[in-house]
Amino acid sequence: MNRMSNKLLTGVFALIFSTALLGQNGVIEGNIKDAVTNEAILFATVQIEGTTTGAISDLDGNYRIENLAPGLYNIIVTSVGYKPQQAFELQVTNVKPVVVNFSLEEDVQVLDAVVIQAGPNDKTAESPVSLRTIGVSEIKRNPGANRDISVVIQSLPGVASTPSFRNDILIRGGAPNENRFYLDGIEIPNINHFATQGSSGGPVGLINVDFIQQVEFYSGAFPANRGNALSSVFEFEQRDGRTDRWGSTFTVSASELTLTAEGPTGER
């Protein structure tokens, strides 16, 4: 009887230990390169924000952070001679590694002459209040949005919607056709299915959220190369696919049925 009890306790402890190990096998990996020369940046520091967990890039610029519990993480990349860069709300799971690549810009500092001049008033630095960056995790977790980017945008300040089933976006009283959309720097006419003439809205979103890294939304003070916009500018940045092995994501919802596959096309 005692021998059976010992075997039972051993099995329970083994099950608990294996479950704990499975809960800590999330991975964040990617590559770090120079934004101008595309050369690998070695010995760059990749650290999870608010912790001491991180990694150092190797001679090929690759990094890998292992044994992460499932959840949302922010990471920051630093290297001598380059500007720091961050990635926000990375959804880590036990299913597949999160691939995040970085292109760092050189941090050139030129020391000018120091001029001390008294002034009656102090002027605070201006902040880009018209820019809002939306992470893909925020889109997926938004209640009632059903992974539709247009619905998420309608919940932001200064944005209104039509009282119908359409995803028309009205920015500060502007018309639905006054918005401009860019996918990786290329202008696209619409981000919704079944759009009507003179409008940019539709009943169902066109862009698959699984392909998107983040969305930058300008409700005013547009960039100089986006001067054709009247109400707003949307910059959609696609993420990089997996390079370690093939994987797939299957999504079923009330208005969406998607099967996304990604993986390397040749030898690494």
28 located within any domain: yes
112 located within any domain: no
The answer on 218 and 139 residing in a single domain is yes
Question: CA 4 → CA 1, 13, 17, 18, 125, distances in Å?
Answer: 5, 14, 20, 21, 72
The answer on 233 and 174 residing in a single domain is yes
The answer on 57 and 94 residing in a single domain is yes
93 located within any domain: yes
DSSP label at residue 3: H
The CA angle 129-178-201, to the nearest 5 degrees, is: 105
For 122, phi then psi, to 5°, come to: -95, 135
The answer on 41 and 81 residing in a single domain is yes
Task: Give the least confident one: 14-28, 45-59, 238-252.
Answer: 14-28
244 located within any domain: no
For 17, phi then psi, to 5°, come to: -65, -40
Return d(Cα 100, Cα 28) in angstroms, integer: 7
31-52 pLDDT per residue, tens:
999 999 999 999 999 999 999 9
CA end-to-end distance (rounded Å), the chain: 56
122 located within any domain: no
- Span 195-223, average pLDDT: 78
125 located within any domain: no
72 located within any domain: yes
Q: Which domain holds residue 47?
A: 11-104
Q: Residue for token digits 């939304």? A: 217
Return d(Cα 107, Cα 48) in angstroms, integer: 22
Please report, for the domain that includes residue 139, its CATH number. Answer: 2.170.130.10
266 located within any domain: no
The answer on 227 and 141 residing in a single domain is yes
Alpha helices in 32-83 (DSSP H): none
Split at pLDDT 50, 70, 90, the class of 127 is: very low
The answer on 186 and 100 residing in a single domain is no
The answer on 62 and 23 residing in a single domain is yes
- Looking at 69, 85, 104, the residue that finishes a domain is 104
Most confident of 57-61, 161-165, 229-233: 57-61
The answer on 100 and 18 residing in a single domain is yes
The answer on 94 and 38 residing in a single domain is yes
The answer on 90 and 47 residing in a single domain is yes
Which pTM does this prediction carry?
0.55
66-94 pLDDT per residue, tens:
999 999 999 999 999 999 999 998 999 88
Number of domain units in the chain? 2
Residue 218: closest CA among 161, 158, 266: 158
Please report, for the domain that includes residue 62, its CATH number. Answer: 2.60.40.1120
The answer on 147 and 60 residing in a single domain is no
